[in-house]
Structure 1
Amino acid sequence: MVSENYTLMLMDATNRSAFSTDAGPTMSHEDETEMIVSTIVAIFFGFIGITGLLGNALVVLVVLSNPQMRSTTNLLIINLAIADLLFVVFCIPFTATDYVLASWPFGELWCKSVQYLIVVTAHASIYTLVLMSLDRFLAVVHPIASMVIRTERNTVLAITILWVLIITTGLPVSFAHGINVSSVGFAVLSSFIFVLSSARNNHN
């Protein structure tokens, strides 16, 4: 009788162990790889964000605190640093979040805003570099004649026109992006989508 009871208890324990192993969550190789990549991406974006924030903030503070440094070239450098700061503050954290998390937690409006700010800040940086190249060209090739053009007033005017054009021409980007909400089991996942491309695929 004791032996029979022991056998039944052993079989019951074995069945419970097998049941709990099958029912418990298991992590596949793909899940482990995705977790490692997400961690690396988060660390990488964090390093870029901290470095970019400190470096560009120091550039702006140093130039603005020294009036004698406010040349045309340095004004363009400040504008480049401001564009990079805006990118670091408004784009990098949320782009990293989109890579790390399975869903977008910030809503439709901020999805559109982040995509819009990415385009605006990137174009502001690029075209500021173009203005800096033009400024250097005039300073080297036409050093005397360009002194009338390369003034602080004209530089501020060029920077203002640059931002107005980029802000207005980038508006369609916010309308072209949105959130795709899909139900997976009991989870509702949301992600960035390019609305025009998605609508075209659905139409086809």
Structure 2
Amino acid sequence: MAACNSSLLVACELQDSNTSSLSVVRYTTMPIHLRILLAAVMTGMVVISFLGNAIVCLIVYQKPAMRSAINLLLATLAFSDIMLSLLCMPFTAVSIITVDWQFGVYFCKISAMLYWFFVLEGVSILLIISVDRFLIIVQRQDKLNPYRAKIMITVSWLLSFCISFPSVVGSTVVDVPTRAPQCVLGYTESPADRAYAVLLVVAVFFIPFSVMLYSYLCILNTVRRNAVRIHNHADSLCLSQVSKLGLMGLQRPQQMNVDMSFKTRAFTTILILFIGFSICWLPHTVVSLLSVFSHRFYYSPSFYVISTCVLWLSYLKTVFNPIIYCWRIKKFREACMEFMPKTFKILPKVPGRTRRRIRPSTIYVCSEHQSAV
């Protein structure tokens, strides 16, 4: 009798010299019209993700003034999203239509490795940005310069590759569709495979989510406390202190709020990216863990539909990021308008915001009180 690995095959044919039988694990797929619609939407997502993130990379590459540390990190995040959309999403779209994997078992493992590789890189960049915002606003330490940013970007690429590469060379169970629209971690009882699956989801979601959540809670508390301090003590600033800050005089204390408003807005942009990351990746993380540890869930009839939905949601993040950049960051929005042909510039020009007068690391001192804005 021939043995069959149930973690890799949906249907296993068991034969001996006298009898043969076919054991089929049935699952529920989406109707053909819904699959075609979803594949068409994913194709549109590939186009939007590529164009939007490519513009972000071009802006940073072509404009030396935009090559700050934070913009280098955002460009790296955009590049990882481009690679994810080009090297993974098209194959998923084809598999959604055909309900089958047409590209071979070996490329299945490569596809899974690339998926985790680019996702890990994007998450690493978000983690670096959140820690940088925490140091600037909470600890009053602006240590990240372009040189250090490049070093951290290089380290993040190497670390992401080291974590994702075992899935293509080791014995890790990577399931070949038709059970899912993309090669995913399959159910296994091997302690080593389960440990690796836990390592992946912890590195992709739980550690970054915990660190970013703590950072942003501290930042929110600091911004709230600084707002109260500046409001209570703006009128009592002595003239000598105001003149050292380069302000116009006591009659215009609202200038201090300009820098605080800028930094609060910049932090809000990063916070929106964090919220988008959480919404897009929490369902995928839960489904990945259940797939590896729960035989009942992995072989349930609804697994295909559930995995399709969470994969689509995880890919949505690649479209989400460039839209947020153009919505929230004025320089990126203006640069996007420069790349856009004149015939498509139908939107009215947005009035510019008040320019910053104070460095982000400025510490406002009022008597015995301090606040880092």
Pick aligned residue for 2:159 from 162, 165, 168: 165
**Residue 129 (1) aligns with residue 120 (2):** no
Shift of 1:46: 1.0
Pick aligned residue for 1:68 from 53, 65, 69: 65
Q: Deviations over 1:73-127 (max 9, x none)?
A: 0010011001100111011101111211132111122111111111111111112
> Structure 1 111/198 Cα, relative in aligned 2: closer, same or farther at 3 Å?
farther
Match of 1:153 in 2: 147
**Residue 92 (1) aligns with residue 92 (2):** no
Match of 2:45 in 1: 48
Q: SS of 1:197's equivalent? A: coil
> Structure 1 98/153 Cα, relative in aligned 2: closer, same or farther at 3 Å?
same
- Residues 108 and 178 in structure 1, CA contact (< 8 A), matched pair in contact too: no
Deviates more, 1:87-96 or 1:103-112: 103-112
- Within 1, Cα distance between the matches of 2:189 and 2:45? 31
TM-score normalized with structure 2 length? 0.39
Q: How does 1:185-196 map to 2 (within 5 A)?
A: 192=183, 194=185
Q: Deviations over 1:37-92 (max 9, x none)?
A: 21111111011111101000000001110011110100100110011001110111
- Within 2, Cα distance between the matches of 1:58 and 1:141? 32
Shift of 1:197: 2.3
- Could you list the runs of 5+ residues in structure 1 that have no partner in the other structure? 1-29, 182-190
> Structure 1 180/51 Cα, relative in aligned 2: closer, same or farther at 3 Å?
closer
Residue correspondences, number: 159
- Residues 80 and 122 in structure 2, CA contact (< 8 A), matched pair in contact too: yes
Shift of 1:171: 1.6
Q: How does 1:98-113 map to 2 (within 5 A)?
A: 98-113=95-110
Pick aligned residue for 2:188 from 186, 197, 202: 197
- Residues 175 and 184 in structure 2, CA contact (< 8 A), matched pair in contact too: yes
**Residue 118 (1) aligns with residue 106 (2):** no
- Could you list the runs of 5+ residues in structure 2 that have no partner in the other structure? 1-27, 191-291, 296-373
- Within 2, Cα distance between the matches of 1:82 and 1:121? 9
Matched to 1:84, the amino acid is D
- Residues 45 and 96 in structure 1, CA contact (< 8 A), matched pair in contact too: yes
What RMSD over aligned residues (CA atoms) do the two structures have, in Å? Answer: 2.6
> Structure 1 197/37 Cα, relative in aligned 2: closer, same or farther at 3 Å?
farther
- Within 1, Cα distance between the matches of 2:137 and 2:177? 52
Match of 1:8 in 2: none
Shift of 1:136: 1.7
Match of 1:19 in 2: none
Shift of 1:36: 1.1
Shift of 1:159: 0.8
Match of 2:137 in 1: 140
- Within 1, Cα distance between the matches of 2:55 and 2:187? 40
Structure 1 vs Structure 2: percent identity of aligned residues?
A: 26
